[in-house]
């Protein structure tokens, strides 16, 4: 995400206009720049991060934070200014401002559907190129070629599964296998090479000197940088970090959007155990960011920007599964930290437009949103509840094992220098292993979404009798034992391959592989249950396995009935999903996305998990008081004149930079450490370096009180009302204040006297919570 987050001061905007009248007469040579500083308070974070180059090793500064509370007040000033103007023109401007959120949501949903259409069509075509091509039209995939299900037009004919129009590369197994592997390797290299273009240098997620080393000992050096590939993975862990109030520069740029879509096409086409559903969420968030930047109220306010990004996330899953309601619930349950009612409404509209446009574009050629439509025609009985519980237990074990083993694998295998320095080589190895293990199994040879579609078939339906699955489940089949072996082998290979695949440097998600594994296992269980279609257990098993991996509940249940159109099986889904979550939580509380955040080193404040950890410790807020050296560096004792020498502030600024944090600041005290205000590092540097150009090096800077004509005044940059809490308050107070109010910093005062004793910044709290979890 580009670092265009604004600074957030609580002083009234009308005071800024008076200040401008006095100051601009003395700084006329920088009139435009000074006016921008006064009116919008552009922070130094923005200036420095915009100027940072790819590959440059920065300290922890890339992970700056926004202040939700200050952004709320800033938006209130904006609203009062807009609605306080009179006249027809301004009334129309007010109406547009009120409607801009809905307009943005509709645009985001529409554009997301268009991108998803291109990705779906291209991925389906390239996936089938591994096995052959359509003689009628090389630009048609197998399904469009054989069944006439063409995009935009719909089904124009029903030729059937077996058709002569699709020509396989060879009639012999060995040449077919060789060509399949060659195409898969080529697609994997293309996808990974494109992902390499989005490499950016980011720091390791550990605070700088004075934060991590807060319990004594010598200062530690600022964390060294690490490489991050913006288009790699699903993007969901990074989006969760952004929506929680942190800033990841350039993560939502157009370049990342393009590479994510391009790379996802080739990554899915390899046949690896990954899906495009996670990348679609990243793509939709990129589109949301680019669209929202065209509206000033979102561009200039980090809190408002995150509102529209939360709505944009919903459209990503809406187009991925054809599940508009499930997409809204997914954004609420799994991704968003801040989700008020108006965000819910806009997410609903965004998801609706995405679904409407995608249905009109018709990428599957069926003319329907439902991807895996089923009509089993049979119902379950209470005795089957036990089987659904078994599927839930299996899904929880699968999810728990996957999360733990993938975390271990990522830490171990990717620590080797050859893998760390040559990510394309790891992709090459994973594609090769996938092809060698999956191609011999007819059930896993197809792309991930086709695997699910094949496993959900109801063999009582005459149209499905000719499918490979139904032929081997027929009573007169001689290969039933080998079919059972293929189902078991497929389940195990999906587990192993998904473990080694998740985290490689291509656009990839984990949703489809988890559904595949669950469908394989559910179909296997269904072979031993009579009187009911095995496809029902494949459907419920898919939900259970995904619940174990992601720990989703309500949103997953809704997604499954939108995905299959089977409303009758909501209760089995609920049973399996809840049991899977309980079992997986007993093996480990973190979902795959939580663990991915830890592996990637992104800061994230999970208030629910953190509260459980804090409640076990019985600690007070004073636990987070910085060391004395740090407090001396960030404290400015303001004399009775309310002015301090410029050299003192410059020295303090250098000390802040040395700590490796760019969104820290200075606390102002008077009369025996009584708190008077807080000035953020960004405003401090901007005032000293930009506004301070017209003043002498030995000038005194006013930080408090009313300024006189000609004074070097920075009092308008000072937050005179920072949130404070007693140092003897329970740690739960601190966590609630940061979690519910979205604070950037919190002042600690001494019990009884009210003297300032410490300052907690958000990243200090995150570091402390990380230590509790270790």
Query: Rounded CA gap, 553 and 649, in Å?
Result: 52
Which string of DSSP letters, residue by residue, matches 511-576? HHHHHHHHHHHHHHHHTT--SS-HHHHHHHHHHHHHHHHH---HHHHHHHHHHH--GGGHHHHHHH
Return the exposure string of 48-75: e unless at least 16 CB atoms fall within 10 Å of the residue's CB, then b.
bbeebeeeeebbbbbbbbbbbbbbebbb
DSSP label of 508: -
pLDDT at 295 over 80: yes
Local confidence band at 157 (pLDDT 50, 70, 90 cut-offs): very low
Query: Rounded CA gap, 512 and 763, in Å?
Result: 34
Query: Rounded CA gap, 558 and 351, in Å?
Result: 14
Query: Rounded CA gap, 454 and 457, in Å?
Result: 6
pLDDT at 671 over 50: yes
Query: Rounded CA gap, 269 and 680, in Å?
Result: 48
Question: 580: burial class by Cβ within 10 Å (0-12, 13-18, 19+)?
Answer: buried
DSSP label of 117: H
Tell me what pLDDT residue 1 has: 55
Which string of DSSP letters, residue by residue, matches 357-421? HHHHH-TTSSS-S-SS---------GGGHHHHHHHHHHHHHHHHHHHHHHHHHHHHHTTSHHHHH
Decide: 583 and 396 in contact? Cβ < 8 Å. yes
Strand-strand pairing, 199-203 and 225-229: antiparallel
Local confidence band at 680 (pLDDT 50, 70, 90 cut-offs): confident
pLDDT at 764 over 90: no
**Neighbouring residues of 721: CB distance < 8 A, sequence distance ≥ 6:** 10
SS3 231: coil
Local confidence band at 61 (pLDDT 50, 70, 90 cut-offs): very low
Mean pLDDT score of the chain: 84
Handedness of CA 754, 759, 760, 761 (dihedral sign): positive
Residues 570-579 pLDDT 10s = 999 999 999 9
pLDDT at 207 over 50: no
- Quick one: average pLDDT of 53-80? 65
pLDDT at 180 over 50: yes
Beta strands in 172-239 (DSSP E): 199-203, 225-229
pLDDT at 178 over 60: yes
Local confidence band at 130 (pLDDT 50, 70, 90 cut-offs): very high
Local confidence band at 602 (pLDDT 50, 70, 90 cut-offs): confident
pLDDT at 13 over 50: no
Strand-strand pairing, 712-713 and 700-702: parallel
C-alpha distance from residue 364 to each of 317, 374, 564, 722 (Å): 16, 16, 15, 55
Decide: 574 and 552 in contact? Cβ < 8 Å. no
pLDDT at 342 over 50: yes
Question: Which pTM value belongs to this model?
Answer: 0.84
Question: Quick one: tokens of 359?
Answer: 């249905």
Decide: 764 and 214 in contact? Cβ < 8 Å. yes
CA-wise closest residue to 214 among 727, 773, 760, 626 = 626
Length of the chain: 774
The sheet carrying 674-680 orders its strands as 635-637, 665-670, 674-680
Strand-strand pairing, 225-229 and 635-637: unpaired
SS3 608: helix
C-alpha distance from residue 709 to each of 4, 51, 642 (Å): 32, 35, 15
- Quick one: average pLDDT of 116-141? 91
Query: Rounded CA gap, 254 and 115, in Å?
Result: 13
Decide: 291 and 520 in contact? Cβ < 8 Å. no
- Quick one: average pLDDT of 684-695? 86
- Quick one: average pLDDT of 14-21? 41
- Quick one: average pLDDT of 740-760? 90
CA-wise closest residue to 666 among 697, 640, 690, 632 = 632
User: Which region holds residue 710: left if phi is over 0, alpha if psi is between -120 and 50, else beta?
Assistant: left
Handedness of CA 51, 55, 56, 57 (dihedral sign): positive
Position of tokens 């930047």? 293
Tell me what pLDDT residue 203 has: 46
**Neighbouring residues of 511: CB distance < 8 A, sequence distance ≥ 6:** 275, 277, 278, 320, 546, 550
Tell me what pLDDT residue 478 has: 82
The sheet carrying 745-749 orders its strands as 724-726, 745-749, 756-761
Decide: 506 and 232 in contact? Cβ < 8 Å. yes
Tell me what pLDDT residue 660 has: 65
pLDDT at 593 over 50: yes
- Quick one: average pLDDT of 460-481? 83
Query: Rounded CA gap, 512 and 368, in Å?
Result: 20
């Amino acid at each position: 995400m580009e670092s265009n987050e604004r600074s957030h001061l609580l002083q009234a905007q009308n005071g800024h206009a008076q200040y401008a009248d006095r100051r601009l007469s003395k700084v006329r040579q920088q009139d435009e720049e000074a006016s921008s500083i006064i009116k919008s308070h552009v922070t130094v974070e923005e200036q420095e991060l915009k100027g940072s180059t790819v590959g440059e090793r920065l300290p922890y500064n890339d992970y700056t934070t926004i202040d939700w509370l200050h952004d709320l007040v800033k938006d209130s000033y904006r609203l009062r200014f807009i609605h306080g103007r009179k006249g027809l023109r301004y009334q129309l401007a007010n109406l547009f401002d009120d409607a801009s959120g809905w307009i943005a949501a509709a645009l985001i949903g529409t554009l997301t559907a268009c991108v998803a259409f291109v990705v779906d069509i291209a991925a389906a075509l390239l996936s089938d190129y591994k096995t052959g091509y359509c003689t009628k039209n090389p630009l048609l995939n197998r399904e469009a070629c054989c069944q006439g299900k063409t995009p935009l037009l719909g089904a124009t004919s029903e030729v059937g599964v077996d058709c002569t129009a699709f020509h396989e590369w060879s009639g012999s197994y060995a040449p077919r296998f060789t060509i399949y592997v060659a195409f898969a390797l080529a697609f994997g290299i293309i996808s990974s090479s494109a992902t390499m273009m989005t490499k950016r240098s980011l720091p390791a997620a550990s605070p700088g000197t004075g934060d991590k080393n807060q319990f004594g000992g010598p200062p530690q050096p600022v964390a060294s940088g690490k490489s991050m590939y913006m288009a790699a993975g699903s993007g969901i862990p990074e989006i969760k970090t952004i929506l929680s109030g942190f800033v990841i520069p350039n993560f939502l740029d157009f370049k990342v959007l393009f590479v994510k879509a391009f790379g996802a096409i080739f990554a899915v086409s390899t046949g690896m155990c990954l899906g495009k559903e996670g990348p679609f969420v990243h793509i939709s968030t990129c589109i949301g960011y680019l669209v929202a930047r065209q509206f000033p109220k979102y561009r200039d306010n980090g809190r408002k920007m995150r509102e529209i990004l939360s709505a944009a996330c919903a459209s990503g899953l809406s187009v991925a599964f054809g599940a508009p309601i499930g997409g809204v619930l997914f954004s609420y349950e799994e991704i968003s930290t801040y989700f008020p009612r108006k965000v819910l409404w806009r997410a609903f509209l965004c998801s609706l437009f995405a679904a409407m446009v995608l249905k009109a574009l018709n990428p599957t050629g069926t003319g329907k949103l439902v991807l895996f439509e089923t009509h089993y025609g049979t119902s379950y009985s209470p005795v089957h509840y036990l089987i659904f519980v078994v599927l839930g237990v299996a899904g929880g074990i699968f999810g728990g094992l996957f999360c733990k083993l993938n975390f271990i694998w990522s830490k171990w295998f990717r620590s080797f220098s050859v893998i760390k320095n040559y990510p394309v080589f790891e992709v090459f190895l994973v594609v090769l292993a996938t092809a060698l293990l999956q191609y011999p199994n007819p059930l896993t040879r197809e792309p991930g979404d086709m695997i699910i579609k094949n496993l959900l078939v109801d063999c009582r339906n005459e149209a499905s009798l000719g499918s490979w699955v139904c032929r081997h489940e027929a009573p007169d089949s001689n290969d039933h034992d080998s079919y059972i072996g293929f189902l078991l082998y497929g389940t195990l290979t999906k587990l192993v391959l998904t473990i080694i695949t998740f985290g490689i440097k291509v656009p990839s998600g984990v949703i489809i592989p988890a559904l595949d594994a669950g469908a394989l296992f559910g179909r296997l269980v269904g072979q031993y249950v009579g009187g009911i279609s095995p496809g029902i257990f494949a459907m419920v098993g898919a939900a259970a396995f995904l619940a174990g991996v992601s720990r989703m509940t309500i949103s997953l249940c809704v997604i499954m009935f939108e995905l299959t159109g089977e409303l009758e099986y909501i209760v089995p889904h609920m049973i399996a999903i809840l049991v899977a979550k309980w079992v997986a939580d007993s093996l480990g509380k973190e979902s795959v996305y939580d663990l991915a955040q830890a592996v990637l080193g992104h800061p994230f404040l999970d208030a629910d998990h953190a509260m459980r950890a804090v409640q076990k410790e019985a600690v007070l807020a004073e636990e987070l008081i910085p060391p004395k050296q740090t407090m001396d560096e960030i404290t400015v004792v303001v004399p009775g004149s309310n002015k301090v020498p410029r050299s003192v502030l410059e020295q303090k600024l250098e000390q802040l930079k040395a700590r490796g944090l760019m969104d820290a600041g200075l606390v102002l005290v008077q009369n025996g450490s009584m708190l008077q205000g807080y000035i953020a590092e960004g405003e401090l540097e901007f005032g000293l370096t930009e506004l301070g150009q017209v003043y002498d090096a030995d000038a005194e800077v006013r930080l408090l009180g009313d300024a006189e004509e000609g004074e070097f005044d920075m009092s308008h940059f000072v937050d005179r009302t920072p949130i404070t809490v007693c140092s003897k308050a329970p740690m739960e107070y601190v966590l609630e204040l940061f979690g519910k109010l979205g604070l950037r910093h919190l002042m600690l005062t001494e019990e009884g006297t009210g003297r300032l004793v410490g300052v907690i910044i958000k990243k200090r709290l995150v570091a402390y919570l990380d230590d509790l979890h270790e």
